[in-house]
Structure 1
Amino acid sequence: MGRLLHISASPRDEASESLRIAQVFTDTYRETHPGDEVEHWDLWDGSLPDFAVGAKAKMTVFGGGEPQGAEGAAWAAARRTFERFDAADRLLFSVPMWNASVPYVLKQFVDVVSQPGWIFTVDPATGYGHQLAGRGKRVAVVYTSAVWGPPLGPEFGSDFQSTFFNDWLRWTGLTDISEIRFHPTLTGDYEEARRTADAQASGIAKGF
C-alpha cells in the first residue's frame, strides 16, 4: 500500500485555488489508487516547530556533538517533522505565490526538515549529497498565482516561487517532479485556466 501526503501552504481554505486544485488531484488519486493512504498536512495547523533553538542544535550536530536540553528537545521536534514528511512515497505540495515566492510557512517547513544526515550531507571535495535520492519517491506540485504568469514581463513580477521550491526538491534528491500550473493573470481566461489546471491535476494523479 502506498502513501500520498498532501502538504498545503495556503491558509485561505475554500477561497484557495491551490487547495481546490489539490482536491481534484487527491480525489482522482483516491479513485485510481483505492488501496493507498491519503493524508493532508496543513502547514498552518500549528504542528511545525519553532526552529530558533533548533538552529543552535543544527550547529551542534555539524560540530559532531549531540544536542542536549532545550537543543535536544528542538532537534527531536524537527526529527518528528522530518519523519512525517519522509514516511510518504508520494508527495503533493499546494503552493500559492506570495510576493513572488512561497508562503513563509513553507519556508519554515523547508528550514525545519533540511538537516544534515536527513536531507543532505556535505563533502569538502564533492559538495552536497542528496539523501532522498534513489528511493522511488515522486512529487507533484501545484503552483498558483493571480498576477504573475509565464507570458508576462517583469512589470508583473517574477517567479521565485517554483524556481526556489523546485531547486530545494532537487537538492534533497527528489527529482521526479510533476508541475500543475494555475496562472490566469489579471486579464486571462480564468475559467479556461481552471479547466486546464484541473485536467493537469487529474491526469497526473491517475498515473502517480
Structure 2
Amino acid sequence: MRILKIVTSPRGGRSVSTAVVDAFLAEYQETIAGSGVIDTLDVWSEALPDYDADAIGAKYKGVSGEAMTPAERATWDRISALALRFQNADRIVLGVPMWNFSFPYKLKQLIDLACQRGLLFTFDGKTYGPLLNIDKAFVVYTRGQSEEAGLQTALQPGFDHVAGYVEFWLRFIGVRNVTAMTVEHTWDGRARDMIDDGKRRAAALARQF
C-alpha cells in the first residue's frame, strides 16, 4: 500500500492539520501492522515550478503534439514527476487549513501543475474522465472559527467552499471514496480540547480506512 500524504500547511510542528493527519496515519499503520509506504509531498518544501508561460506552453503543446522548447520540456518533466506520485498512490491523505475561507495557495499550485490532461484526467472534446484508480482518500479540514459563528454575521463566510472544491477535485482525478472530517475552534480557548478530539476522531476513522 502506497499512501500519498500531501502537506499543505507551512507551520510544521505547529500545524493542526498536519498533526491530525499524522494521528490518522499512525493509527492506520498500526492497524495494518506497519505495512505501507508513505510518500510525503510537502507543497512548501517541494520547490514547485511556477505555473507560468513555460508550464502553460508545455500543457498546450503536450495536448497538440507540438515540439516543446527546452524550457517547456524541463517544466513538463517536473510536472510529469509530480503527477507520477499521484499515479503511484493507492491512497491519498491530506490536511487542509482554511485561509480566508479557502485553502492555501500552494495547494492550488500543486493542483494546477499536476492535474493535466493525459496525466490525471482525460478529455475527448466532450467528456472528462479520471486517469487514477484510487479507492480512498482522507481529508481533514481545520479552521480557527466555527460555522455557527458565521451565522451571527450579516455576510456569512463560505465554509463549504473548501470541502466542495477539494472533494470534487479528488473524485475528478479518480478517487472513488472520500472520508472527510473538520476540526474547528483551533484559535480560541477550546483549541486544545478540539485538537485532541480531532486526533481521536481521526484515529477512529483510520481503523475503517
Same fold (TM over 0.5): yes
Give how far 1:42 is off: 1.4
Does residue 120 (structure 1) correspond to residue 105 (structure 2)? The answer is no
Rounded to whole Å, the distance in 2 between the matches of 1:74 and 1:13 is 28
- What does residue range 1-208 of structure 1 map to in structure 2 within 5 Å? 2-33=1-32, 34-52=34-52, 53-125=54-126, 127-132=127-132, 135-149=133-147, 152-153=150-151, 155=155, 157-159=157-159, 160-184=161-185, 189-208=190-209
Give how far 1:124 is off: 3.1
TM-score by length of 1: 0.88
Question: Residue deviations 1:124-182, cap 9 Å, x none?
Answer: 34x211222xx243110110011242673264521221111111112112131000210
Could you tell me the percent identity over the aligned residues?
Answer: 30
CA gap 1:129/1:150 in 2 versus in 1, 3 angstroms? farther
TM-score by length of 2: 0.88
Rounded to whole Å, the distance in 2 between the matches of 1:62 and 1:182 is 41
Give how far 1:102 is off: 0.8
Rounded to whole Å, the distance in 1 between the matches of 2:186 and 2:36 is 36
Rounded to whole Å, the distance in 2 between the matches of 1:65 and 1:166 is 33
Question: Residue deviations 1:46-100, cap 9 Å, x none?
Answer: 3322221111110112323243411111111100011122212011111101111
Rounded to whole Å, the distance in 1 between the matches of 2:146 and 2:65 is 45
Counterpart contact for 2:8–2:43, Cα < 8 Å: yes
**Residue-pair matches, total:** 204
Counterpart contact for 2:143–2:185, Cα < 8 Å: yes
Write the letter of the residue equivalent to 1:9. T
Which range moves more in the overlay, 146-155 or 192-201?
146-155
Give how far 1:25 is off: 1.0
Rounded to whole Å, the distance in 2 between the matches of 1:186 and 1:16 is 12
Rounded to whole Å, the distance in 2 between the matches of 1:16 and 1:30 is 21
Rounded to whole Å, the distance in 2 between the matches of 1:66 and 1:116 is 17
Extract unaligned runs of 5+ from structure 1: none
CA gap 1:150/1:97 in 2 versus in 1, 3 angstroms? same
Write the letter of the residue equivalent to 2:4. L
Rounded to whole Å, the distance in 2 between the matches of 1:60 and 1:120 is 17
Counterpart contact for 2:87–2:120, Cα < 8 Å: no
Give how far 1:14 is off: 2.0
Rounded to whole Å, the distance in 1 between the matches of 2:115 and 2:42 is 19
SS of residue paired to 2:78:
helix
Rounded to whole Å, the distance in 2 between the matches of 1:43 and 1:104 is 10
Rounded to whole Å, the distance in 1 between the matches of 2:25 and 2:186 is 25
